[in-house]
Amino acid sequence: MREVLKRYGISSFVAHDDIKVSAKWRDEILRSLHSMDAFVAIITKDFSQSNWTDQEVGIAVCRDVLIIPLDKGAAPYGFIGELQAEKTGGDAVEVAEKVFTAIKDSPKTRDRIIECLSKTIAASADSTFASFRVDKLASIENVPRDAWETVRQNVPAYPALMGDKSFVDKLNKALVLAGIAPVGDHDEPVNIDDEIPF
């Protein structure tokens, strides 16, 4: 699922995948728990058997971050027992869309996902990813004008995006709906290095 979440501009931490050999795994997990914007708890039948999962949930509860429980054979319990879980019978694409929806709909994470999408549209690997992210940003109600301005300013620096008429048309439609001038051939690319203060 983590690869699918990347399409949305969402990075994720999965301990057994992300901790490098010889790293102090406890420190890495704590660092991630203290820097996360949201916590996805995949609750399986053996979730409560782990020595760590309840502690990780406890940190998320204490930090008051968005907690997204996914029911994969078991319901939330304890401090998150009152939360409605999302059934995860679907594939990774379906689950990732549900996670994105929870993130964009929560007041705790809405601004953060808008920021991530607006900054990563131009930095997408290709116009397919960029187009997907434009759709996702447009799916959020009342996106602040400055988020669309960020996209508008950054995209002209990427010839691969500007050369894709389908992407430019989609972006321009979203920009016009937001009350912002469309991008076009007359735009001067911004050299991102010029904005680095050293």
172: Cβ–Cβ under 8 A, 6 or more apart, which residues? Answer: 182, 183
The chain-wide mean pLDDT, for the chain, equals: 86
Q: How far apart are CA 138 and CA 178, in angstroms?
A: 9
Mean pLDDT of the 57-70 span: 95
User: How far does the chain reach from its first CA to its final CA, in angstroms?
Assistant: 38
Q: How far apart are CA 45 and CA 17, in angstroms?
A: 22
Using 50, 70 and 90 to split pLDDT, how confident is the model at 30? confident
At residue 190, does pLDDT exceed 60? no
Q: Check residue 188 and give its pLDDT.
A: 52
> For the chain, what are the domain ranges?
1-108, 109-198
Model confidence, pTM: 0.84
pLDDT-wise least confident of 10-24, 30-44, 93-107, 180-194: 10-24
pLDDT-wise least confident of 43-52, 63-72, 148-157: 43-52
Q: What are the tens digits of pLDDT across the range 92-132?
A: 899 999 999 999 999 999 999 999 999 999 888 789 999 99
Q: What is the DSSP string of 46-98?
A: TGGGSSSHHHHHHHHHHHT-EEEEEESSS---GGGTTSPPEE--S-HHHHHHH
Q: What are the tens digits of pLDDT across the range 129-152?
A: 999 999 999 999 999 999 999 999
Give the architecture (CATH level 2) of 1-108.
3-Layer(aba) Sandwich (3.40)
| Other CB atoms within 10 Å distance of the CB of residue 108 | 13
Q: What are the tens digits of pLDDT across the range 122-134?
A: 888 789 999 999 9
